[in-house]
Amino acid sequence: EDKVVQSPLSLVVHEGDTVTLNCSYEVTNFRSLLWYKQEKKAPTFLFMLTSSGIEKKSGRLSSILDKKELFSILNITATQTGDSAIYLCAVLLWRGGGSQGNLIFGKGTKLSVKP
Amino acid sequence: DAGVTQSPTHLIKTRGQHVTLRCSPISGHKSVSWYQQVLGQGPQFIFQYYEKEERGRGNFPDRFSARQFPNYSSELNVNALLLGDSALYLCASSIRGGMGTGELFFGEGSRLTVL
Among A72, A102, A104, A109, which would you mutate to test the B interface (most chain B Cβ atoms within 10 Å of its Cβ)? A102
B5-114 in CATH: which number? Answer: 2.60.40.10
User: How far is the C-alpha of B57 from the C-alpha of B62, rounded, in Å?
Assistant: 11
Does B98 contact A at CB distance below 8 Å? Answer: yes
pLDDT-derived band at A96 (thresholds 50, 70, 90) equals: low
User: Shortest CA distance to B92 belongs to which of A23, A58, A34?
Assistant: A34
Provide, rounded to the nearest whole percent, the portion of chain A with pLDDT above 70: 94
Q: Average pLDDT, stretch A9-37?
A: 95
Q: What is the pLDDT of residues A28-58, one digit of tens each?
A: 888 889 999 999 888 998 999 998 999 999 9
Residue type for A79, please? Answer: T
Q: Average pLDDT, stretch A2-30?
A: 95
Query: Given this model, what pLDDT does residue A23 score?
Result: 98
| B56: closest chain A residue by CA | A99
User: How far is the C-alpha of A88 from the C-alpha of A108, rounded, in Å?
Assistant: 4
Low-confidence ranges of chain B (pLDDT < 70): 1, 96-102
Query: Given this model, what pLDDT does residue A79 score?
Result: 98
Query: Given this model, what pLDDT does residue A100 score?
Result: 56
What does the CA dihedral A44, A52, B101, A34 come to, rounded to 10 degrees?
-20
User: How far is the C-alpha of B40 from the C-alpha of A108, rounded, in Å?
Assistant: 8
Measured over the CA atoms of residue A83, residue A88, residue A93 and residue A97, the dihedral's sign is negative
User: How far is the C-alpha of B71 from the C-alpha of B68, rounded, in Å?
Assistant: 8
Does B56 contact A at CB distance below 8 Å? Answer: yes
Contact B102 A32 (CB under 8 A): yes
Measured over the CA atoms of residue B84, residue B85, residue B86 and residue B89, the dihedral's sign is positive
Furthest C-alpha separation in chain B: 40
Contact A100 B48 (CB under 8 A): yes
User: How far is the C-alpha of B74 from the C-alpha of A4, rounded, in Å?
Assistant: 28
Q: What's the residue count for chain A?
A: 115
Q: How many CB atoms lie within 10 A of CB B42?
A: 22
Domains of chain A (ranges, CATH numbers): 3-107 (2.60.40.10)
Q: Domain-by-domain residue ranges, chain B? A: 5-114
The nearest CA of chain A is from the CA of B93 a distance in Å of 12
Averaged pLDDT score across all residues of chain A: 92
Cβ-count burial B57-88 (b if 16+ within 10 Å, e if not): ebebeeebbbebeeebbbbbebeebeeebbbb
Contact A41 B108 (CB under 8 A): yes
Among B9, B45, B96, which would you mutate to test the A interface (most chain A Cβ atoms within 10 Å of its Cβ)? B45
Are the C-beta atoms of B34 and B94 separated by less than 8 Å?
no
Across the strands, what pairs with B36? Answer: B44, B89
* Chain B stretch 10-49, residues whose beta carbon is closer than 8 A to a beta carbon of chain A: 31, 33, 35, 40-45, 48
Q: Is the pLDDT of residue A98 over 50?
A: no
Report H helices in A3-112: none
Q: In a 3-state reduction of DSSP, which class is residue B77?
A: strand
Query: Given this model, what pLDDT does residue B73 score?
Result: 96
Q: How many CB atoms lie within 10 A of CB B25?
A: 27
Q: How many CB atoms lie within 10 A of CB A99?
A: 17
* Chain A stretch 38-97, residues whose beta carbon is closer than 8 A to a beta carbon of chain B: 40-45, 48, 88, 90, 92, 95
